[in-house]
Amino acid sequence: MSETTAPVTTTASVASAGALGGRKRAARVALRTVQVLLALFYGIASALPKLIAHPSAVESFDKIGWGSGAMYTIGALELAGAVALLVPVLQSVAAMALSALMVGAFIVQLTAFDGQNAATPLILMVPLALIAWARRGHNGELLRLVRRR
């Protein structure tokens, strides 16, 4: 008599594999939802007031002493980051770039505004860091696309 070893598939192992796949899918959907919400925030709540020169944005940039050029530039960078968060090959890089903007915003909040809203950029950096890490696999794809040109 010869014994052969074959993998034993039980109903429990199939069910646990299905549950794991369901959790992964749920995590992907949750992360994508966070990306869309952040893109909406950066595009509408943050970039738009700067790009249309809303009085509150103008006042803030005047207080900093940077003027309208910096306001429009930062608004354009935020809008570009918001759009890039929705493009699969750019999402990790966009999250890193927006995080860099948030470091600058944190410093400005501490220095020019006495820390009044300094927690906001830090809070926004948490999901941005998560996106940058979770979507880091796309960075190689982006690098290949850039090197082709």
Contact present, 56 and 45 (Cβ < 8 Å): no
What's the gap between Cα 6 and its chain centre? 45
For residue 55, count CB atoms less than 10 angstroms from its CB and return exposed for 0-12, middle for 13-18, buried for 19 or more.
exposed
* Three-state DSSP state, 88: coil
Q: What does the pLDDT look like over 130-145, one tens digit per residue?
A: 999 999 998 888 989 8
pTM (predicted TM-score): 0.82
Q: What does the pLDDT look like over 22-72, one tens digit per residue?
A: 899 999 999 999 999 999 999 999 999 999 999 999 999 999 999 999 999
Q: What pLDDT was estimated at residue 139?
A: 87
Residue 11: pLDDT band with limits 50, 70, 90: low
Residue 16: pLDDT band with limits 50, 70, 90: low
Q: What pLDDT was estimated at residue 8?
A: 52
Q: What pLDDT was estimated at residue 75?
A: 98
User: CB neighbours of 117 closer than 8 A, spacing ≥ 6?
Assistant: 109
